[in-house]
Amino acid sequence: MTARFPHNHRKRLASCGSMRDCCRKTSVVRCREVVGRVRGASPRVFGTSGSPVDPPSAAVSVGAAWAHAPYPVIVADRDGALVELNDAAQVLWTDAARGDRLDDTVPTWLADAHGRFADGTREGTGLASGAVADRFFEAHPTPADDGDVVWWLVDDTDRRLAEAALTGARQRTALLADVSSQLLSTLNVTRCMEATARMATDHLAEAALLVAPPQGRRHQLTYAYRGGPVTRVTAPVDVHAVPGLAEALQGFPPVPARWINPADLPGWVQPADFAGPVGSVIVTPLPGHGVPAGALILLRSSGEQAFSGDEELFARLFAARAGAALSAARLYTEQASITATLMRELLPPRLESVHGVEYAGAYRPARDNERIGGDFYDVHPGTDPGEETLVVLGDVAGKGLDAAVLTGKIRNTLHALLPLATDHERTLTLLNSALLSSHHTRFATLVLASVRRRGSKVELRLTSAGHLAPLIVRGDGSVEETATRGSLIGALPKVTSATANVTLRPGETCLLYTDGVTEARGGPLGDELFGDDRLKRVLAECAGMPAEAVVERIQMLAAQWVGSGSHDDVATVAISAPRAADLTVAGGQGRAGGTTYRRNG
């Protein structure tokens, strides 16, 4: 009904019933008022469309109800001439007057929509929308008699702004989430810096420069240019030359972009591809975990819009995400490098033949992701074939890095004690006193084996310091446990030991092993120990095998026994007297092997 209001007015001015109809949507009081006025006016009917309208009469006859409506309303005839407009419309088009051509008065989108509506080629409701000055309107047409069209304009500006703001906020949130997920997916510092610079140019600026914290006086600089490659340079740049950069690298909050004069920037700030002079700059810190992870410089050329306050704020949010990811990557890299350094020292050596005796060792740490643990072994070759080679295999109580550090201490101490190794008990006593601590009773058990080739046979002196006695595999497949006993190292004030002398004939092997083998839990029932007896049976099958094969086989069977279950460290060293046929080869390798092991010295 409301839509027909102006039309009714014109056609049946005196009809109060009609007015009541039309006024139902306003109020009864208003209706009476209008009716009163209408009565005083001449019951004139508007002329045909296109003819000039009588303004005073129209104003009166149309009435206050829509003339003072808060939304602009215009009436145009089918030929595109303005028939009527209310106060709100007059505010929009101050110069508009009745009879003006719509084309000359209102924006094209509205004039076109009117054309389509008036000649019937419209689709749907004929609703149109567009800008009028700096506002945004939806225009709803309603047909009137004579082909006139009433356009009801609804101001849509605020909703549009809110929608734009919401869309922007959603995009920024999505972008920040994307930034985090992209950056956190790598723990490589360099890749992380490159990704930061690239994303900054994708979403924030034309060019970006990421300045890493100094290493000495040099900074790693990561340049990115929109659409170009990311480049890296390490250079001794003067960070004080860029306003706010030195502060940003110390983690101070950024200075507002408008305080930085782009003309003051040194040339190294711009990537090689950056075309024009710099128009605006943001220098923002990359906050890390406690220490700054660097600073980010964002550049736009003078041709582009300067950074807005919102963009500066967003740049800080971006920098916060990037900084967190970078500092996580940096921490990880540092730890990884420390671990790698330690591991290099703590990893067991690779064993070969030395002075005509075959050695083979294998080690499997308790946790597969740590290559070091509480078991260890070393082979210290004698200075010449006539000298004894010292083999050590041991086990420190505990697991992981703590245990590994103690194994390092034991291996170093034993190395220093090498000149005294002819006397095992004395060596163990000295080692024990070096390791005793009032703070803990962490101990190690170990086996010392002094090995010398004599003719085709190999002579062994074996001493156990609280460790499992070595096993000997004879040529006939029998397995002997060596008769050596002694006390563990590092917890008792005094240690005792008894040394066993053993001779290996060609093809015979002595196996040193840790309890990781015999205490491997698993098997068909899942909770059975591998045990001494099984180890002896397996070893019996290894009679005549080379040292390398014996070690491989024991490790493999122990690993199979455990399956996917958890296991302790497993270390095995086999010492074999080569079979007659292998003698020349083994002797030849002896010298080479001997030189290799000097690296420990």
Partner 1 sequence: MTDLPPPALRLTVTHGALELTVDVAGDLDLDTHDHLVETVTEQLARHPEARGVRLDFTELSWIDSVGLSALLMVHRRTRAAGRALYLDNRSALLERLLRQTGTLGHLTARPGRGEGATGANAT
CA-closest candidate to residue 258, choices 276, 244, 248: 244
CA-closest candidate to residue 313, choices 278, 284, 293: 284
Main-chain dihedrals φ then ψ at residue 483, nearest 5 degrees = -90, 70
| 334/513 Cα distance (integer angstroms) | 35
Do residues 76 and 85 touch, judged by C-beta distance below 8 A?
no
When asked if residue 468 is in the footprint of partner 1 (CB under 8 A), the reply is: yes
Nearer to partner 1, 434 or 540 (CB): 434
Nearer to partner 1, 84 or 515 (CB): 515
Cβ of residue 492: shortest distance to partner 1, in angstroms?
Answer: 5
When asked if residue 553 is in the footprint of partner 1 (CB under 8 A), the reply is: no
Q: Which two tokens stand for residue 572?
A: 């095995």
When asked if residue 487 is in the footprint of partner 1 (CB under 8 A), the reply is: yes
* Among 443, 513, 561, 597, interactor with partner 1 by CB under 8 A: 443
* Among 445, 450, 463, 499, interactor with partner 1 by CB under 8 A: 445
Interhelix angle 28-40/16-23, rounded to 10 degrees, is 150
Q: Which two tokens stand for residue 66?
A: 């829509």
When asked if residue 367 is in the footprint of partner 1 (CB under 8 A), the reply is: no
Amino acid at 171: Q
- The secondary element (H helix, E strand) that includes residue 223 is strand 219-225
* Among 27, 42, 496, 584, interactor with partner 1 by CB under 8 A: 496
Question: In whole angstroms, how far apart are CA 561 and each of 60, 156, 469, 535?
Answer: 104, 75, 22, 11
**Piece of 88-96, 126-134, 243-251, 430-438 that binds partner 1 (CB under 8 A):** 430-438
* Among 292, 365, 394, 466, interactor with partner 1 by CB under 8 A: 466
CA-closest candidate to residue 577, choices 358, 257, 415: 358
Nearer to partner 1, 325 or 372 (CB): 372
When asked if residue 495 is in the footprint of partner 1 (CB under 8 A), the reply is: yes
* Among 4, 122, 399, 591, interactor with partner 1 by CB under 8 A: 399
When asked if residue 566 is in the footprint of partner 1 (CB under 8 A), the reply is: no
When asked if residue 492 is in the footprint of partner 1 (CB under 8 A), the reply is: yes
For residue 270, give every residue at least 6 positions away whose Cβ sits within 8 Å of its Cβ, in sequence order, or none.
207, 209, 278, 299
Phi-psi bin for 447: left (phi > 0), alpha (psi -120 to 50), beta?
beta
Cβ of residue 398: shortest distance to partner 1, in angstroms?
Answer: 6
What distance, in Å, lies between the first and last C-alpha atoms of the chain? 104
* Among 96, 317, 397, 418, interactor with partner 1 by CB under 8 A: 397
When asked if residue 485 is in the footprint of partner 1 (CB under 8 A), the reply is: yes
* Among 171, 441, 478, 584, interactor with partner 1 by CB under 8 A: 441
* Among 486, 506, 507, 522, interactor with partner 1 by CB under 8 A: 486
Cβ of residue 374: shortest distance to partner 1, in angstroms?
Answer: 8
Nearer to partner 1, 358 or 515 (CB): 515
When asked if residue 516 is in the footprint of partner 1 (CB under 8 A), the reply is: no
When asked if residue 470 is in the footprint of partner 1 (CB under 8 A), the reply is: no
For residue 456, give every residue at least 6 positions away whose Cβ sits within 8 Å of its Cβ, in sequence order, or none.
505, 506, 577, 580, 583
Nearer to partner 1, 296 or 403 (CB): 403
DSSP-based three-state secondary structure for 162:
helix
Positive or negative, the Cα torsion across 448, 450, 451, 454? negative
DSSP 374-412: SEEEEEE--SSTTSPEEEEEEEESS-HHHHHHHHHHHHH
Cβ of residue 221: shortest distance to partner 1, in angstroms?
Answer: 48
Q: Are strands 570-576 and 128-132 parallel, antiparallel or unpaired?
A: unpaired
* Among 388, 515, 548, 582, interactor with partner 1 by CB under 8 A: 515
What is the pattern of x (binds partner 1, CB under 8 A) and - over residues 123-162? ----------------------------------------
Nearer to partner 1, 195 or 468 (CB): 468
Task: Count the residues of the shown chain that bind partner 1, applying the rule CB under 8 A.
Answer: 30
When asked if residue 442 is in the footprint of partner 1 (CB under 8 A), the reply is: yes
Nearer to partner 1, 396 or 472 (CB): 396
Neighbours of 153 (CB within 10 A): 23
Residue 256: CA count within 13 A, CB half-sphere: 5
Nearer to partner 1, 356 or 466 (CB): 466
Nearer to partner 1, 395 or 548 (CB): 395
Cβ of residue 485: shortest distance to partner 1, in angstroms?
Answer: 7
Positive or negative, the Cα torsion across 359, 364, 365, 366? negative
* Among 300, 467, 534, 567, interactor with partner 1 by CB under 8 A: 467
CA-closest candidate to residue 210, choices 195, 225, 226, 193: 193
Interface contacts to partner 1, rule CB under 8 A: 395, 397-399, 436-438, 440-443, 445, 465-468, 485-488, 491-497, 515, 519, 568
